Amino acid sequence: MKKIIATTLACAMMFSLAACSVKQQETTVTESSETTTQVTETTEETTETTTEETTLRAPSTQILTKEDYVKNARDKYKKYVKGDCKDDFYAPEILIKSSYADSVNNDIKKIFEKYKNAFKKDEDAEIFGSDYIVYLTKDGILSVVFTEHKGKEVHHVYNIDVTTGEKVDNARIAQIAGVTSIKTAAMDALQNAYNSTYEYFHGAKAGKRVENYKVIPENGKKLTSEEKNMQATFNEKYFSDDMKVGLTDEGKMFFVITMYDAALYSKFVIDADGNSQDYVGNPAWVSPKNTKG
């Protein structure tokens, strides 16, 4: 009798252990399956995010909007700058799939890497921010001006054909704008800028401030020191057919020009009519504003 009971208990224990083993295997398989599913879902989410961040637009004959070709990459470069000033750094990122677009984006990245190193060495480095302007002509010429504010402003100009993704040189820009000499057109633009500013403050009856690239002295006798400084900006060293230029939305040429302003020599972006170019409020709008220069 004892042998039967012992045998029965042994069998019961064996079945119980077998059942536990099967249950444990099922749990392990289920947990493994759930983990695999989670990993798969996470991978898919990561892939979607990466794809969204790196999606580039292939060149096409269809001309779209500025926002389709350029985005504000400020968030991308926030880690490169320190403190509250990071909100003052705007940066364009070209969304066109081409080697030239890649080179533009790399140039801007290198600039922010320099910022990072500068702030690492000195938290009070005199780098005050950056912004940009974007133009797009009806023919698909995209002109981007990226400006660094570092005491004196530094302007970088990039011109790209959105239909091919290639760089647009000054010769083609001049052809589109109907300009035979970039150098002469730039000097005319500077003259227009001085005259429009003078007219703004003194009225149309005051006459011209500059004529034939010569500053007219207000006292009618000889140039003051300020007027001499203004005259110095017409020096030919500041002008050439290779200077930084681009096209406005209307297809007018704009120039990066050295002007005399409030006892400082500064570089301004002005169009052929002498209007200075600036961004409207938030560069994320990538829209230029015309103001009298």
Predicted confidence (pLDDT) per residue in 151-162, tens digit: 888 999 999 999
Model pTM score: 0.77
Classify residue 11: in a domain, yes or no: yes
**Residue 1 scores a pLDDT above 60:** no
Same domain, 242 and 281: yes
Same domain, 212 and 283: yes
* pLDDT at position 19: 45
CATH number at residue 140: 3.30.565
Residue 24's contacts (CB-CB under 8 Å, 6 or more residues apart) are none
Alpha-carbon torsion (193, 133, 291, 115), positive or negative: negative
In the DSSP assignment, the letter for residue 253 is: E
Same domain, 179 and 277: yes
Same domain, 261 and 179: yes
Classify residue 60: in a domain, yes or no: no
Q: How far apart are CA 73 and CA 103, in angstroms?
A: 16
170 neighbors 184 (Cβ within 8 angstroms): no
Q: Could you list the residue range(s) of the whole structural domain that residue 51 is in?
A: 1-55
* pLDDT at position 51: 35
* pLDDT at position 284: 58
Distance between the two ends of the chain, CA-based, in angstroms? Answer: 114
Number of independent structural domains in the chain? 3
Model confidence at 263, pLDDT cuts 50, 70, 90, reads: low
Run of H or E residues at 26: helix 2-54
Q: Mean per-residue pLDDT for 250-256?
A: 96
Residue-wise pLDDT for 48-81, tens only, equals 333 346 588 899 899 999 999 999 998 899 889 8
Same domain, 206 and 127: no
Classify residue 252: in a domain, yes or no: yes
Find the range with the poorest average confidence among 10-14, 260-264, 280-284. Answer: 10-14
Q: How far apart are CA 283 and CA 92, in angstroms?
A: 9
**Average pLDDT in the chain:** 81
* Nearest partner of 236 among 257, 261, 260, 208, judged by Cα: 257
* pLDDT at position 82: 75
Same domain, 39 and 73: no
Same domain, 49 and 70: no
Which of 93, 127, 161 lies at the terminal end of a domain, its last residue? 161
* pLDDT at position 69: 95
Classify residue 61: in a domain, yes or no: no
Same domain, 121 and 235: no
